[in-house]
Amino acid sequence: MANIAVQRIKREFKEVLKSEETSKNQIKVDLVDENFTELRGEIAGPPDTPYEGGRYQLEIKIPETYPFNPPKVRFITKIWHPNISSVTGAICLDILKDQWAAAMTLRTVLLSLQALLAAAEPDDPQDAVVANQNTPKK
């Protein structure tokens, strides 16, 4: 992995570990390998949602081109959500695709995924079956 990517992800990893959200048990990140190319994330289900009380595991793969390209993230924990594939765990979230900016961080990603659980985007589904069940009939 490129030196800039390693330095950046190490700094962001420490940022998450020291964050207020980690101390409140809302987000978490662990190393899977020693070269920081694969991480394991965890987010708590947001309050007042069907996900409250749940802990959701994430696979996070850091590309060599990080931070200029987003990390590859998927849910390991099976979840029923219109923007997350119930089969593969793939996520439909703009900041993990074309709206990624190099100023975004690992903490931003984890908090954005937690926010996605609180406010689904049924008009931009990853899982059409789930989206159709959650969309009111017109």
31, amino acid identity: L
* Side-chain-facing half-sphere of 41: CA atoms under 13 Å: 28
- The residue from 73, 92, 116, 131 that is catalytic is 92
Q: Which ranges of 19-135 does DSSP label H, i.e. alpha helix?
A: 20-23, 106-118, 128-134
Contact 61, 43 (CB under 8 A): no
Determine whether 126 is an active site residue: no
30, amino acid identity: D
Contact 64, 2 (CB under 8 A): yes
Long-range contacts formed by 85-91: CB under 8 A, 24+ apart: 85/126, 85/127, 86/127, 86/129, 86/130, 87/127, 89/59, 90/126, 91/116, 91/126
Residues identified as active-site: 92
